[in-house]
Amino acid sequence: MSLKMDVPERQSDRLREKVCMVTGASRGIGRAIAVELGSHGAKVIVNYRSSEEKAEEVSDAICEVDSDAVPVQADVANLSNVHEMVEQTHDAFGNVDVLVNNAGITIDKTFDSMTREDWDRVIAVNLGGVFNCTKACFEDIKQADDGRLINISSVVGQQGNFGQANYAASKSGLFGFTRTLALELATSGSTANCVAPGFTKTDMLATVPDRIKEKILHDIPLDRFAEPEDIAGFVRFLASEESAYMTGQILSVNGGLDW
């Protein structure tokens, strides 16, 4: 099924004129978030690191529903790349109203096999990248009428996971970061919240052995993995005026998985 067939018709103008930057938006949860925001009228920066063709497909699909989108390449772990991305955003659409820190990677190994390089790379992208993007957009978000910082964490950051010490540490770090930024943004009326998805049907989950997926599924009360769109709807709510009195929160979207 093509991406364009997956994009809903324009749902509303609820996010009309909002400039939304979504990192890691060329596929998976990031792609679904970008499409969801675009379908509600947002102008979307579709960030990608290496998947240029997929990012262009996402951007084209958003434009098909009469919203605006631009694919922008940047490695979020590289601060100069991120500043260049923000400059391109300003040139294309103006200041950033909504930043969705979604980009992330995994390098899964048991701790006794994990090298310092494995640790540093995951932390640099999943936590350092959040710092870089938030730092570069911080003044924009503070000055926006309804500034929104939305961080995408994981249930793994809440409960840990075998072979993912680096990933779990990076994702749990977002909880304290989000709550602190919520306090620092509050005086300007802008908010910071975090979404912690459960196991979601993405390329990342596809690499998990079937026997492990069966075990995970057994522990999920709703008896299914999340679709990326399940997560995107919550992000759209957090980006909208409807969430104006919510800040510093961790939203668990995991099908009832106990942690």
**pLDDT tens string 149-204:** 999 999 999 999 999 999 999 999 999 999 999 999 999 999 999 999 988 888 77
Spell out the residues 6+ positions from residue 74 whose beta carbon is closer than 8 angstroms to its own: 23, 47, 49, 81, 82, 84, 85
pLDDT at residue number 1: 38
Distance from chain centroid for Cα 214: 26
Between CA 197 and CA 214 the distance in angstroms is 18
Residues belonging to the active site: 167
Strand partners, 43: 19
Give the chain's end-to-end CA distance (angstroms, integer): 35
Which amino acid is present at 78? Answer: N
pLDDT at residue number 2: 44
pLDDT at residue number 5: 40
**pLDDT tens string 197-214:** 988 888 777 777 788 888
**pLDDT tens string 63-108:** 999 999 999 999 999 999 999 999 999 999 999 999 999 999 999 9
- For the chain, the 3-state helix, strand and coil shares in percent, each to the nearest 5, are 50, 15, 35
* Closest CA relative to residue 47, chosen from 79, 77, 78, 22: 22
Domain boundaries, the chain: 12-198+228-253
The tokens of 233 are what?
């709807």
% of the chain residues with pLDDT over 90: 81
Supply the CATH classification number for the domain 12-198+228-253: 3.40.50.720
Q: How far is CA 174 from CA 86, 163, 224, 242, in A?
A: 21, 19, 26, 23
